[in-house]
């Protein structure tokens, strides 16, 4: 995962949406540890990908 983050060169001012992840998923955790703002959603918590859109 770290290699992906390094190679993707995602600007730190972008917000990353992880549409299939809970708060403690690996993707959410690693993005946050690398200084990114992350919004996550999961169908189990009411965030159906086909019906939910983050506010930002």
Q: What is the per-residue pLDDT across 1-56, written as a single tens digit (0 to 9) for each? A: 778 888 888 899 999 999 999 999 999 999 999 999 999 999 988 888 888 888 76
Nearest alpha carbon to residue 39 among 19, 24, 25: 19
Give the integer Cα–Cα distance in Å for 26 and 21: 8
What are residue 25's phi and psi, to 5 degrees? Answer: -70, 160
- Asked if residues 31 and 38 have their Cβ atoms less than 8 Å apart, the reply is yes
Q: What pLDDT score does 49 carry?
A: 84
Burial zone of 31 (CB within 10 Å; 0-12 exposed, 13-18 middle, 19+ buried) = buried
Domain ranges of the chain: 2-45
Q: What pLDDT score does 53 carry?
A: 81
Q: What pLDDT score does 33 carry?
A: 94
């Amino acid at each position: 995962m770290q290699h992906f983050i390094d190679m993707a060169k995602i600007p730190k001012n972008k917000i990353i949406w992880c549409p299939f992840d809970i708060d403690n998923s690996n993707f959410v955790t690693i993005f946050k540890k690398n200084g990114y703002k992350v919004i996550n959603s999961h169908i189990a918590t009411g965030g159906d990908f086909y019906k939910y859109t983050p506010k930002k």
